[in-house]
Amino acid sequence: MKPVIAVSSYIADKDVFYGYGTSGDYIKAIDGAGGIPVQLPTIKNTSDYEQVLRHMDGLLIPGGCDIAPYFFSEQPEKALGRINALIDRQEMELVRLAYDAGIPILGICRGHQVINVAFGGSLYQDIPSAMPEAIGHDQSGCKREELYHKIDIQPASYLHQIFGKDSLYVNSFHHQAVKQLGDGLKTVATAPDGVIEAIEGTGDRFVMGVQFHPENLYGIYTEFTNLFRFFVEECKKRAI
């Protein structure tokens, strides 16, 4: 059986109609790696997701807007970007429910930050203001598949197992970053300036967050193709 993988949707409220969307690269990468992607819209009672997740073998939380700082007990800084508390609540509830059900979780960019906040961690609301000496983390204007900065990977991690190397270059489209790690999470990759670029769960359940965008690199670089294959294989363990 192919694993069915839920992909949270962003809320499109700027166009002519109100709707729910997911960037096609996430869908293509899951599909290409042997999973069945299913898009989840926002619903009124997020607790209903418990029922939905009974039919799912994996959860992917994609990239998107900033996270409202009151979820980690901070006031907004001037450089905070667009927020939407509805999607924050939805995605943090999905992470908690999936974790409790033992469903593998992959968070990408905003999704990586959502996992951290859902586990009780906090974020830098804006890297350039919080760390003036930081390297560039926002390559907006470059192609999505352009590799931008280096990351160093911890040896004892799923990520090291996937990439098979101690460091590599990734793309980077973020201005927020993990500050205080959530409970039950560990840092598994950092940029040369110390910015946390990947996290994993410390327990035996598969939880991974990556600050870069492997879905834009899928099918171009083996390492990032392998990341999706590995995730789909983890999800497949449940799809029996």
User: What six digits make up the tokens of 72?
Assistant: 């980690």
CA gap 215, 60 in Å, rounded: 11
For residues 81 and 125, give the distance between their C-alpha atoms in angstroms, rounded to a whole number. 8
**Catalytic residue list contains 175:** no
Q: Is 73 helix (H, G, I), strand (E, B) or coil?
A: coil
Among the listed ranges 14-22, 109-117, 118-126, 172-180, the one in contact with Mn ion (CB under 5 A) is 172-180
Q: Mark residue 219 as left, alpha or beta (left: phi above 0; alpha: psi -120 to 50; beta: remaining).
A: left
Task: Give least dist CB 191 to Mn ion, A.
Answer: 5
**Binding flag, residue 213, Mn ion (CB under 5 A):** no
Instruction: For residue 215, indicate whether it is catalytic.
Output: yes
Q: Does the active-site annotation cover 213?
A: yes
Query: Rounded CA gap, 148 and 171, in Å?
Result: 5
Q: How far is the CB of 182 from Mn ion (least distance, A)?
A: 19
Residues 131-150 that bind Mn ion (CB under 5 A): 137
Q: By CB under 5 A, is residue 172 in contact with Mn ion?
A: yes
Nearest approach, Cβ of residue 11 and Mn ion (Å)? 25
CA distance 208 to 199: 6
CB under 5 A: which stretch of 40-48, 93-101, 116-124, 130-138 binds Mn ion? 130-138
Determine the length of the chain.
240
Binding positions for Mn ion, rule: CB under 5 A: 137, 172
| Residues belonging to the active site | 109, 213, 215
